[in-house]
Amino acid sequence: MAQEANIGVVGLAVMGSNLARNLASREGNKVAVYNRTFARTELLATEHPEAGFIAALTIDDFVASLAKPRTAIIMVQAGAGTDAVIAELAERFEPGDIIVDGGNALFTDTIRREKDVRAKGIHFVGAGISGGEEGALKGPSIMPGGTAESYATLGPILASIAAVAEGEPCVTHVGTDGAGHFVKMIHNGIEYADMQLIAEAYDLLRNVGGFSPAEIAGIFEQWNTGELESYLIEITAEVLKQIDAATGKPLVDVILDEAGSKGTGVWTVQTSLNLGVPVSGIAEAVFARSLSSQRAQRDAANGLPAETFAFDVPDKAAFVEEVRLALYASKIVAYAQGFDAIRAGAAEYNWDINLGAVAKIWRGGCIIRAQFLNRIAEAYGKNSGLLSLLLDGYFTDAVTRSLGAWRRIVAGASLAGIPVPAFASSLSYYDGLRAPRLPAAVVQGQRDFFGAHTYKRIDMPGVFHTLWSGDRTEIETTPSSH
Ligand code: NBP
């Protein structure tokens, strides 16, 4: 087989097929395709003759069809399937060739795989690809890791298929080895928080404001013309407009209220816990999905007392605006926390990640695409060492003008007995962040009391332990081994 394809795709289920078609539609690309079960390959080539695919029957045919340096994108099930395909390619590829994993791999797997494959002189690029099947076909946001050398070959190909936002392709070389999959993971975590916040706004508008789903759809459409403009607000309006054909009711009222997940939100929270980064908005969103799925407990607890208080809404329009402001401020916190997690991950794993560039590639193609990512890109563009997004002037102003509304909404929801875990935890995070003094001093005292964990003082250097049950004198110690 002639070596004529400049790029190949392995794994032709929905994501791989669409990505292969996207690649084939761009000038200059000749695409080889391979799937473990040939029927899928055959079907794709037959249904899309315009793509001019080289349909490989075997992995050997596939490898033989690729021009050097060979470049193949794997789009198979994450986990064992990905490992199996990497092994097959690595056996046949030569030094300088490039293996790209475009699946949703855990970044630590990507770090491991990159190391193994690099030992053979082959480049391994873990590339986060966001945007679902439509994104894969029409233009996703792409977050590649791997070496700068591999990006020289791969970058132009990925740029040719990526979404375009304000004239720029939504792809950047995020960093080495697992950096791309790490950033994709955080993207998904932020997505969880954003979705939960919108759902909480809906709940308030419905159960406090008394609006119907169709009316809330109209409110969201209105919000989508301003600073909340985003894909998630847009599709939520569509979801709320939908009428169930079988019952004639709003579809949202007949959908079972148990949210599922595929695990990237959990990964984000687990990773952030390990890094010591409070991603409370994302964590609450993950927990809210877990709670929603605890059907037996929920049914058993359904009649527990509530003792609620009225949340008076004398002016409906003003209430809608307060919910909007609370949503915006909470959303800013969720993104600030997500970007903090990326910065902490970069420090831990030695990645040089440009946070502004990450914000830019999320402006198009991906699920969290939103107008305000431009503001985030500007903030990090002005100051790459920004300690928190909340300290950037634009975001400080946005939160400042939302604060009153944010507090009234969270307090009102609490009095009315409406759960707003993401709104409330975001506000608490903000208050914790800005507090000059936290009750952590009490925690340190407790730790020293029961475990002699020691503490530091505000007025003198050194490490101290109090003899709590003795004469209560403080003594300076060498750093504790506890
Ligand atoms: P699936 O995740 O459903 O995987 C099916 C593909 O994996 C088929 O091509 C199948 O081959 C292949 N495969 C499996 Br399973 N085990 C294999 C093995 N041991 N060796 C070789 N091939 C194997 O496909 P998908 O839904 O298209 O997703 C592909 C990747 O993209 C996944 O990692 C997924 O997490 C990710 N994804 C991303 C998004 C997004 O928005 N970015 C959305 C959905 C999925 P067969 O045909 O022979 O069974």
What contacts 100, CB < 8 A, 6 or more positions away?
Answer: 71, 72, 73, 74, 124, 125, 126, 127, 144, 146, 154
SS3 235: helix
**pLDDT per residue over 10-50, tens digit each?**
999 999 999 999 999 999 999 999 999 999 999 999 999 99
pLDDT of 478 above 60: no
Q: Output the CA 78–ligand 1 centroid distance in Å.
A: 7
Full-prediction pTM beyond 0.85?
A: yes
Contact 67, 5 (CB under 8 A): yes
Ligand 1 pocket, residue 263 CB under 6 Å:
no
Percent of the chain with pLDDT over 90: 96
Ligand 1 center from residue 35 Cα (angstroms) = 10
Percent of the chain with pLDDT strictly greater than 70? 97
115 included as an active-site residue: no
Q: What does the pLDDT read at residue 45?
A: 97
Q: Quick one: which H or E segment has residue 201?
A: helix 179-207
Q: Is the CB of 283 under 6 A from ligand 1?
A: no
Residue of 9, 15, 185 to test ligand 1 pocket, by largest number of atoms within 8 Å of CB = 15
DSSP letters, 31-72, are EEEE-SSHHHHHHHHHH-GGG--EE-SSHHHHHHTBPSSPEE
How far apart are the CA of 82 and the centre of ligand 1, in A?
Answer: 8
Q: What pLDDT band is residue 473 in, cutting at 50, 70 and 90?
A: low
Ligand 1 near 87 CB (within 6 A): no
Cα–Cα distance measured from residue 427 to residue 416, given in angstroms and rounded to the nearest whole number: 18
Give me ligand 1 centre to Cα 77, in Å: 3
Q: Does the annotation mark 249 as catalytic?
A: no
